[in-house]
Structure formats: structure tokens, C-alpha cells
Amino acid sequence: MTKASRTLAPAAFDAEYYERFYERRATRVQGPKEVAHLARGILGVVEWLGGRVDTVIDVGAGTGLWRDWFAEHRPAASYRSVDVSPYACERYGHERRDIATWRARGRFDLVVCQGVLPYLPDAAAAAAIDNLGAMTRGFLYLEAVTAFDLATVCDRALTDSALLPRAGAWYRDHLAPHYVPIGLGVWMSRRFDAQLYELERGA
């Protein structure tokens, strides 16, 4: 799918992987245009709910499309990017971190975690969610392809076969101690003080 982080075999996320899933127009899932639409939408939701986005961490930052968007449109925001891939870190300038075993000391207004968790086995994915929860002061944007998505939504020609087909309920159960679901991949930290109408919450 899009971004990648895997505890077991980070070496697999090499130049060939990035060329296929990120850089080649015919096979990449998202490019700068799509991420620009996504970033504007996510920040619109966060700000509608009363949040500010002064600090951001991008976990599994890939080619740095979110970084580029923030640099152009929100240059005052403090942005931090991490990835498990040695190749991605060297080429695109991220810190090398494994979210299954690491968490930042501070907390962030927005945590972006796109296309990371489906590469991790259950125990590592659960630990990663706990680390994301610990780092989130405001909101999380999470993209995690589920077994249902793989069966019904994803274009298999463009989707990495290494993704683990985990049930959506598994993610919801592990996210619930840390977050309130908003919908469209947006999760609000339980630390964030906001009053929501019942139908503003995700299912």
C-alpha cells in the first residue's frame, strides 16, 4: 500500500520497494497531489474539533510527502519524521526508529501513521499502538489496511502482498484505551478535552 515499517525485516524496504510503491507513477498508490488533499482534509477535521497542529510526528514517513506538504503550507509547525527503513532514512532524511520498540519523549498535536501497522505481527503492532497513544496529545491519523479491505477494496496489483490481513476489530480494540474514533482514519486522544455530539464519533 503506502508507507512501511516492519520489525522483522526492515532490509526489505529498499530501493526496489520504494521505486515500486512510491516513485513509479504507474504503481504508486499516492503521490503529492493525493497527500495534499489528505493533509488538508485531516487538518480541517482536527481544527473543526478545536485542535491546533503546532507539532507533528510522521511515523513511517516514506518519501516524505507529508513533510513536503507541511513545509509548504504550515511552515511554522514543528515536524518530525521517522522510519524503520535504512534506505528511506538515508535517502529522504528521516530518523531511524522502530515504532514497535520506541516512543518519543514528548507528545504531538498530530501523529501520522500511514501504512505501517499491517506490516507488523500482532505483538509488535499492539506495542506500536501503545507507543502511538503515548505520543499523542491531540489526534492520530491512521491508515491500516484490514483483512476486509484486502478482500473488497484494495487493488491487489498495487498492494504489497506482505501486508498482514488483520481484522478491523483488532485495531479498534487496541486503539480504544488511547483514542476516541472520529472517522475517516482520524482518532482523538482521550487526553484531548473536546465535547462531541454522539454522531460526530465514529462507529
DSSP string, 83-119: ES-HHHHHHH--EE--TTT---SS-EEEEEEES-GGG
- Assess if residue 197 is contained within a domain: no
- Assess if residue 122 is contained within a domain: yes
Distance of CA 95 to the CA centre of its chain: 16
- Assess if residue 1 is contained within a domain: no
Q: How far apart are CA 162 and CA 127, in angstroms?
A: 20
Least confident of 123-127, 142-146, 161-165: 161-165
Strands 179-183 and 186-189, by their bridges, are antiparallel
Q: What is the mean pLDDT of residues 18-31?
A: 64
Cβ–Cβ < 8 Å for 95, 23: no
pLDDT band at 8, cuts 50/70/90?
A: very low
| End-to-end Cα, the chain, rounded Å | 24
Structure pTM? 0.87
pLDDT band at 154, cuts 50/70/90?
A: confident
Domain housing 152: 10-192
CATH of the domain at 165: 3.40.50.150
Q: What is the pLDDT of residues 48-77, one digit of tens each?
A: 999 999 999 999 999 999 999 999 999 999
- Assess if residue 3 is contained within a domain: no
Number of structural domains found in the chain: 1
pLDDT band at 158, cuts 50/70/90?
A: low
Query: Percent of the chain beyond pLDDT 90?
Result: 70
Give pLDDT, residue 31: 84
- Assess if residue 188 is contained within a domain: yes
CA-closest candidate to residue 104, choices 53, 56, 176, 52: 56
